[in-house]
Structure 1
Amino acid sequence: MNMASEQTALINNAVADFDPPKKPKRITYALACSILASMTSILLGYDTGVMSGAVIYIRRDLHISDVQVEILIGIINLYSPIGSFLAGRTSDWIGRRYTIVFAGAFFFAGAILMGFSPNYTFLMFGRFIAGIGIGYALMIAPVYTAEVSPASSRGFLTSFPEVFINTGILLGYVSNLAFSKLPLRLGWRLMLGVGVVPSLLISFGVLVMPESPRWLVMRGRLGEARRVLDKTSDSEEEARLRLADIKSAVGILGSYNDDDNDDDNDDDVVQTSKQSTGKGVWKEMFIHPSPAVRHIVVAALGIHFFQQAIGLDSVVLYSPTIFQKAGIASDNQKLVATVAVGFTKTIFILVATFFLDRVGRRPLLLTSFGGIIISLLTLATCLTIIGDSDTKVMWAVGLSIAAVLTSVATFSIGAGPITWVYSTEILPSRLRAQGAAMGAVVNRIMSGVISMTFLSLSKAMTIGGAFFLYAAMAVAGWIFFYTMLPETQGKTLEEMEGSFGKFRENSNTDVK
């Protein structure tokens, strides 16, 4: 019996010896930090979702035209780049953590103003204030989560901002449905005013968040950075390597022994270079960039451009209008169908988070855009058939609804989360805050252009023609991603610049 037990133990040990190395487990502390930071993205999502339904009642109450509706819905995307631009310098100045407070404070004030708006002009002012807060949130959430995440789960954690954007959209749709039965003057104001709730939650969350380790290193506060890295890395060895890589990347001046674990050194502060505090960034990115940096900047801004140029914001913002064109007449039915859009987006973004670190950014992005192309072409064809028909074409109505749902689903599994993950992680530490701010500016400007022209574009070239145009932009985006974006899965943030240099060399070799 003893001999059998010993043999069993030997066999089990032998099997264990041949087990493949397990993937490092995700760090609970890094997960909590990423969730708290990413909650700022709810602000954009809620505003996007709630305006799609609220505008139905705002139009009736304030008696505004189609052009005023377009401006009301889309103008916040032209206000938010101001916040994103300011957030780049603000986060380098006071830190990532306190920049999140700015986001919550601005949106809180904007939501209050919109909720008490007596007229169109006052409502536009409230959207200006809220837009500044959204701009801050869009820039800071992916930057903070990328900088606090270990390489093994950075894709998973950095996709959280997009998860919360979609959660916010769904909450906005639910708010539309919940308050739609109230008196006209009260209902839409409550829909907008409830936005104060997530901004308050964000402000409380900041109280328990640590500062970004990369910002701490940029400020020479190496002891504090090491303590954060110890809590957010897969191992002590990885924490030491991350600290050494960050120091090298930001150009620390002075000496500090990374291997010294003496607690007396925990609060050491060293001198940093001017470059590490955000000075000279614009010159390095746009005036005299290296070939690798030029490639990175084109990729980071290009992915934001095409994420919005394909018109998915029109699907989200104007889904009640699209469903009306498809043949759904009842306000309640349109809002219920819109909730289905929000639910689909949220479910598929959650699915995407578990594939980013397994499948890779590039395959998911190309697959996502392929699905978007098919969905938009289907939607454009069906809406054209419905528009040209004198009778209700039920199969086209059903297929239109299905195409709307598949377009947001395929967007959520790739183009939605990967845009923020990829554009943040490829930027070198010294350029990350202000480079991410520029990406957010491009994103919001394009979103504003799309959302402020959809109704006019639909009138000029039919709603089907508008979606054919968006499909053509999706084809151009797929080609751009295929030729310009290398894979970044599993690489540390400090390795990215070299990866783009190698990708460029390989591309040139292939051409020759």
Structure 2
Amino acid sequence: MENDSIENPTKVNKYAAACAIVASMISIIFGYDTGVMSGAMIFVKKEFHINDHKTEVLAGILNLCALIGSLCAGRTSDIIGRRNTIVIASVIFLLGSVIMGYGPNYPVLLFGRCVAGVGVGFALMIAPVYSAEISSPKSRGFLTSLPEIGISTGILLGYLSNYIFSRLPLHLGWRIMLGIAAIPSLLLAVGILKMPETPRWLVMKGRLGEAKKILYKVSNTPEEAEIRFRDIKEAMGIDVNCDEDVVQIHESKQSHGVWKELLLRPTPALRWILIAGVGIHFFEHATGIEAVILYSHKIFAKAGVHDTRKQILATVGVGLTKFTAIVISTFLVDKVGRRKLLLFSVIGMICTLAGLGTFLTLAEHSGGKLIWALVLSIITTYAYVGFFNVGLAPVTWVYSAEIYPLRYRALGNGIGVAANRLMNATVSMTFLTMSNAITIGGTFFLFCAVSVVALLFVIFFCPETKGRSLEEMESIFTRRKHVEDTIK
């Protein structure tokens, strides 16, 4: 267990913070690719004359292809390391951005979006894992939230890019919007090579000497570094008094056979961890946030905002709200705790989704003549985004990156990200169809109902993990016997 009596236990190590910030740049690129499509698809639709179904496919294919990336990233990061996996993600983003920026027709654009999607899968799996493994328990929530701040920053930049480049000629504007992401992708691929590998991965490979040196850099005191080093060695079944630089790690302690152990023969505690980790990822997007992020211009049009540039400008407000809420949550997650933030967030989402469904229904039936319904639709949209991003958005990534034992962390987080992307793709590729079938207001009532189920899930399956070391997580999920029994 990490010692709370260590000097300045809550101080964030500057080197660890720098590492987490650089790793989070991959999330900025992903966020940009997500946000920029919201406005770019307006102009793509005009140039290529595509229908709503093709628009949904273009929007959602990124997340569908991310399934491939997230499932490959876990095993890849166990083999080549967390840092090198970020390099791979950056290169894939670079290729996808270049192809999308070229985009002479719809099929090529779709292919570029799919390539970028594979990079998304890699990025979403590896950035939180890297940040969690480089940080101490007292700052882990803050540092592991940085990738989510990166996503929000990227989405906001994507919205601003939509607004700035919307005045350019039709054939040029959206191509610049999509292609410009290649520049930061290249910079990150080079920059991440200056950062260290995570000490936990190095220990998993038996490279104790390297791991110890890095722990001294990312810890506030030598005492803290020694305690963290001891805990990691103990978790890997290495003698805590071992002072060799390189040791042989038995295959059973590495990542061999983890698929079978995690999915087919999990212990009760590991089963609970898997349900919590995958479930929280499922509900993050099953509650409808991607509908707002990708189709906010459609929502505002239904509410009564008909000018394209005004729709895009109102969408910038979504990005600002998301960014502000994420920044606030970053400072709360280690103080308030994961569970309390989740409960507050989901309860707020239930209320705002109910309001949004009501006001959009009234606005749509009035043909946009009820100004108060239009205003309240916009306000509740922003409020929903705020509640989502103050809790469920950042905590999902912090929680899933920290709860798995080291041996299962990359794979478990990869499975969670796959569930996350699957739900994201489902919402992205069905929102317009659902809105036409049950009205846009009815769609948000559906998301409200899912949020109620999400609240019950948090209450029964998500114990508090604030301030606990990564090596303690399995013991947390062996408590509350009555909850464990419900998932056998």
Amino acid at match of 1:299: A
Equivalent residue of 1:278, what SS? Answer: coil
The answer to whether residue 210 in structure 2 is matched with residue 224 in structure 1 is yes
Q: Which residue of 2 aligns with 1:456?
A: 433
The match for 2:3 is: none
Say whether residues 1:312 and 2:296 are aligned partners. Answer: no
Q: Do the aligned partners of 1:150 and 1:234 also contact (CA within 8 Å) in 2? A: no
1:392 is aligned with what amino acid?
A: K
Equivalent residue, structure 2, for 1:373: 350
8 Å CA contact 1:220–1:271 kept in 2: the answer is yes
Partner in structure 1 of residue 341 of structure 2: 364
Residues 368 and 374 of structure 2 are in contact (CA less than 8 Å); yes or no, is this contact kept in structure 1? no
When residues 145 and 374 of structure 1 are mapped into structure 2, their CA distance, relative to the original with a 3 A threshold, is: same
**Deviation of the 1:373 alpha carbon:** 0.8
Cα distance change on mapping 1:280 and 1:251 into 2, 3 Å: farther
Q: Which amino acid aligns with 2:421?
A: R
Q: State the one-letter code of the partner of 1:110.
A: G
Residue from 423, 428, 438 that aligns with 2:405: 428
The offset of 1:47, in angstroms, is 1.0
CA contact (8 A) 1:145 1:157 kept: yes
Kindly report which structure 2 residues correspond to 1:94-493, keeping only aligned pairs within 5 A, or say none.
Answer: 94-252=80-238, 257=241, 268-390=245-367, 392-493=369-470
The answer for the alignment partner of 1:58 in structure 2 is 44
1:43 and 1:137 in contact (8 A); partners too: no
String of CA shifts for 1:100-134, please: whole Å, max 9, x gaps: 01000001000000000110011111111111111
1:89 to 68, 72, 75: 75
Could you tell me the TM-score, scaled by structure 1's length?
A: 0.92
Cα displacement (A) at 1:328:
0.4
Q: Kindly state the Cα deviation for residue 357 of structure 1 after the two structures are TM-superposed.
A: 0.5
Moved more, 337-346 or 240-249: 240-249
Equivalent position SS for 2:173: helix
d(CA) in 2 for partners of 1:327, 1:487:
43
Moved over 3 A (4+): 20-24, 255-258, 506-511
State the SS of the aligned residue for 2:116: helix
Kindly indicate whether the alpha-carbon contact (under 8 Å) linking 1:36 and 1:206 is maintained by their aligned counterparts in 2. Answer: yes
Deviates more, 1:165-174 or 1:277-286: 277-286
Tell me, yes or no, if the aligned pair for 1:213 and 1:228 is still in contact at 8 Å: yes
Say how many residue pairs are matched: 482
Q: What does residue 3 of structure 1 align with?
A: none
Q: Counterpart in 2 of 1:9?
A: none
**Alpha-carbon offset, residue 33 of structure 1:** 0.6
Paired position in structure 2 for 1:37: 23
Q: CA deviation at 1:186?
A: 0.6
Please give the root-mean-square deviation of Cα atoms over the aligned residues, in Å: 1.7
Aligned 8 A contact 2:30 2:154 in 1? yes
Q: SS in structure 1 opposite 2:362?
A: helix
TM-fit CA distance, 1:506: 5.7
Cα distance change, pair 240–194 in 1 and its aligned pair in 2 (3 A):
same
Report how far residue 204 of structure 1 moved.
Answer: 2.4
Q: CA deviation at 1:26?
A: 1.1
Q: Is contact 1:220-1:272 (8 Å) kept?
A: yes
- Which deviates further from its counterpart, 474-483 or 385-394? 385-394
> What is the one-letter code of the residue matched to 1:365?
L
Deviates more, 1:359-368 or 1:205-214: 205-214
| 1:250–1:275 CA contact under 8 A, matched in 2 | no
Question: Which string of whole-angstrom CA distances, capped at 9 and with x for unpartnered residues, describes residues 117-173 of structure 1?
Answer: 110011111111111111110110000000000011100000011000000000100
SS in 2 for 1:271: coil
Distance 1:510 1:104 in 2: 41
Amino acid at match of 1:321: K
Deviation at 1:201, TM superposition (A): 2.4
CA–CA separation in structure 1 for the residues paired with 2:137 and 2:7:
17
- Distance in 2 (alpha carbons) for counterparts of 1:84 and 1:363: 28
Contact 1:312 1:408 in 2 (8 A): yes
Tell me the CA shift for residue 349 of structure 1. 0.3
Q: Spell out, residue by residue over 1:184-215, the C-alpha distance to the aligned partner (whole angstroms, 9 max, x if none).
A: 01111110001112212211221210001011
Q: Distance in 2 between matches of 1:24 and 1:201?
A: 32
CA deviation after TM superposition for structure 1 residue 58, in Å: 0.2
**CA offsets 1:353-380 (integer angstroms, 9 cap, x no match):** 0001100000000100011111111110
1:510 deviation in Å? 12
Q: CA separation of 1:302/1:509 partners in 2, compared to 1, >3 Å: closer, same or farther?
A: closer
Q: Where does structure 2 lack aligned partners over 5 or more consecutive residues?
A: 1-5
Further displaced range: 465-474 or 233-242:
233-242
The sequence identity of aligned pairs, in percent, is 52
Q: Report the alpha carbon displacement of residue 85 of structure 1 after superposing the two structures with TM.
A: 0.9
Alpha carbons of structure 1 residues 241 and 109: separation in structure 2 relative to 1, 3 Å: same
Larger C-alpha radius of gyration, 1 or 2?
1
- Equivalent residue for 1:15? none
State the alpha-carbon separation in 2 of the partners of residues 509 and 33 from structure 1. Answer: 40
Question: Are the equivalent residues in 2 in contact too, given 1:77–1:445 (CA < 8 A)?
Answer: yes
